Amino acid sequence: MEITTKNNLRSAGAVVLAMTAITASDAMVKGMLDDIPPFQFLFVRAIVILLILGTALAIKGQRILMPSIRQPFAFLRGGFELMSTGFWLFGLQFIALPTAAALAWTSPIMVALLGIFILKEANSVWRWLAVLMGFIGVLLVTKPWGAEWSLLLMLPIAASLASAAREISTRFISQSAHPLQIAFITVLVTALGSGIGSIFLWQPLTWDLGIGILISALLVSAAFPLMIVAVRHGEMSFIAPFFFSAIPVAIILGYLIWGDTLDFLATLGVFLIVAGGWLNVKKFSHRSRQSS
């Protein structure tokens, strides 16, 4: 499939929307982990998401499961999602949020690397500069340099690597599979894995937790198909900087919910994130016009 500038721009927009939904969900989950074990949260949310996706598939006239189960990468994608979310939630229990976020948001760097070396996508100095600007911006916003080193810091790094592998595996799934079907398989694997992990740690659910899990499930259900469409139709190394859009969304939510404000370094970091995304779009569009 030929990837055009329009496809890349649409994919970038889908990533921004997905990151907004996921970040909003994370803001809710942050306050819930004190009252519910991570695996139990993952399991209950996955069951709700399966019901939402199943209903959406039925409305669209699609099969609940994929037309053929002879697509191991669909199930592998679910395994990477389970690892990514599990590592992330467990890391949040022991690591300061700014430190965990800075490490986890290295995922776009890993996506770009895997896209170039595994998918053999086109590369340029400008793309690496854009990704580097985004990563430096993340560091300035989160300021993790004051944290003491611990092996627990490997948890968000592992989440980042698993997240990148999840997106790369999407490219190897048959184009005949509907995005909602892929998302359903992904969540099904997550539900099975987290269900086993929560057997011995189960706690009673309250109404507040139930409502929070439902809202989180709705947001994640919207993000999954958007991410699948973006990865299928856009170049990995092009859309990678747009994963950093989660940062300004998190800053806005932090101000609205907790009254957090930006200092000079954080403001500079947001500027670098936005500038990196703009640079990537500008240079890629210019190269596309020259080649057409």
Q: Is the pTM above the cut of 0.85?
A: no
Q: Domain range holding 173?
A: 5-123+150-240
Q: What is the mean pLDDT of residues 269-287?
A: 68
Q: Which pLDDT belongs to residue 219?
A: 92
Confidence of residue 85 (pLDDT cuts 50, 70, 90): very high
Task: Dump pLDDT digits (tens) for 189-211.
Answer: 999 999 998 988 899 989 999 99
- In a domain, residue 35? The reply is yes
Alpha-carbon distance of 48 to 281, in angstroms, equals: 37
- In a domain, residue 128? The reply is no
Alpha-carbon distance of 203 to 192, in angstroms, equals: 18
Please state, for a pLDDT cut of 70, what percent of the chain lies above it: 82
- In a domain, residue 14? The reply is yes
Task: Dump pLDDT digits (tens) for 120-137.
Answer: 766 677 777 877 887 787
- In a domain, residue 259? The reply is no
- In a domain, residue 290? The reply is no
- In a domain, residue 67? The reply is yes
Torsion from C-alpha of 27, 32, 37, 43, nearest 10 degrees? -70
Specify the number of domains making up the chain.
1
- In a domain, residue 200? The reply is yes
- In a domain, residue 207? The reply is yes
Q: Per the structure block, which two tokens stand in for 232?
A: 């299928």
Q: What is the mean pLDDT of the chain?
A: 80
